[in-house]
Amino acid sequence: MPTNKWILPEGVEDILPEQAFWLELKRREVVDTFMTYGYGIVIPPLIEYHNSLLSNSSEDLDLQTFKLIDQDTGKQLGLRADITSQISRIYSTYNSKGDINRYCYFDHVVRTKNIDSKVSRIPIQAGAELIGSSDIDDEAELVILMLDIVKKFTNKKIFLDIGHVGIFKKLISSVNLKTDHEKQIKKLIRSKSGSEIKKYLNDVDVDQSFKECLYNFPKMHGFIKDIDNDLKQLKRFDNNIEQDIQHIVKLCKIIECTHKNVEIKYDFCELQGFDYENDIIFSAYIENDSHEAALGGKYNFDSGNVSGIGFSMDVRHLIKNLSTEKKLVNKDGKWLVEKADE
């Protein structure tokens, strides 16, 4: 029996030898896959000056960042809540304008709170970022890589949802809304609750056609072949939305050529992740698990309007899909590797 039973903070947990062994096996496998695609691994510092961690001016990211004071300089530091912003800094520091570069990572992040009780406040993030290119083939490469990595963790069916933050932002910008209204509408859109959206909009002074479009927003999802069904209503608010939708269609066709066994759908309510994404966004799901296995999106991360696209996954969450030919067992105080069927 343990001599003391220490209590860890909520959302913080140990990874014991059996799971740590599995994670180390997968870490090597994942990093090798990244490198076959030409992505260089980086290990950014866990702690930085607070302002450099928020180079994307993301309010969501700021709320998830632990702040503390540097005892040497008196400046505010932050514990990283996301690695994408650090890779943006690395790109800006070590690359010239116009360069295209690819980075990957496999490391811890720390978050101030749990958005979802199912996930840890100290996720182990694996991910990749492709910066400096707006070519659709490069975008597809990144999504294809994400699906390849998810398949390293499961043999179950995988689903890919594609959305576009730009469509939602164009729709919102077509009317004069207060910031608080925008935030609440986005939250309700994420929840996909048509009744709650309708109830909230009753007290918002906007055009009736705009309200009706938002009422229908939770229904705007399905197979890619049906995406034009929603185009007629959306493009009335901004003609550029048609271009966004055609971009999604073309992107999905490229991805489908490589991952024919992945079910691809569009979902305009797919607004997960941090709020620095401004273009296509995407999430991968594993059969019988409602929590995303990986998510990503496209963004502009600095005043130079340099485009990046990336994804990340919480490897710690994927432990429950544990499947390996080897396992670690304790025998007489020693940890030994055995075949999983022994």
pLDDT in tens, 125-164: 999 999 999 899 999 999 999 999 999 998 899 999 999 8
User: Mapping DSSP to helix (H, G, I), strand (E, B) and coil, where does residue 60 land?
Assistant: helix
Q: Kindly state whether residue 138 falls inside one of the protein's structural domains.
A: yes
Summarize the confidence of residues 169-177 as an average pLDDT: 80
Mention every residue, 6+ apart, whose C-beta is less than 8 A from residue 196.
Answer: 188
What are the pLDDT digits (tens) for 99-130?
999 999 999 999 998 766 667 899 999 999 99
Question: What pLDDT was estimated at residue 102?
Answer: 97
6 within a domain of the structure (yes/no)? no
CB neighbours (10 Å) of residue 80? 25
pLDDT band (50, 70, 90) for residue 27: very high
Highest mean pLDDT among 199-208, 231-240, 244-253: 244-253
% of the chain residues with pLDDT over 90? 42
Residue 210 binned pLDDT confidence (cut-offs 50, 70, 90): confident
Residue 35 covered by a domain: yes
292-to-18, 38, 64, 318, 333 alpha-carbon distances in Å: 24, 25, 19, 10, 37
Encode pLDDT of 75-106 as tens digits. 999 999 989 889 988 998 999 878 999 999 99
pLDDT number for residue 315: 92
Task: Give the pLDDT band of residue 324 (cuts 50, 70, 90).
Answer: low
CA–CA dist 203, 179 (Å, integer): 15
What is the pLDDT, as a whole number, of residue 219?
85
In a domain, 9, yes or no: no
Q: What is the pLDDT of residues 35-74, one digit of tens each?
A: 999 999 999 999 999 888 876 556 778 888 999 999 999 9
The total of structural domains in the chain comes to 1
186 assigned to some structural domain:
yes
Structure tokens at 103: 């980075």
**Residue 294: which pLDDT band, with cuts at 50, 70 and 90?**
very high
Let me know if residue 1 belongs to a domain: no
Which pTM was predicted? 0.88
Q: CA 159 to CA 78: how far, in whole Å?
A: 35
Domain that residue 326 falls in: 17-339
- Residue 187's contacts (CB-CB under 8 Å, 6 or more residues apart) are none
Q: Residue 260: what pLDDT?
A: 94
Mean pLDDT of the region 234-259: 91
Q: How confident is the model at residue 287 (pLDDT cuts 50, 70, 90)?
A: very high
Q: Does residue 97 fall inside a structural domain? A: yes
Domain of 151: which CATH number?
Answer: 3.30.930.10
Tell whether the model's pLDDT for residue 273 goes beyond 70: no
- Whether residue 315 lies inside any domain: the answer is yes
pLDDT at position 323: 62
- pLDDT exceeds cutoff 60 at 205: yes
Q: How confident is the model at residue 311 (pLDDT cuts 50, 70, 90)?
A: very high
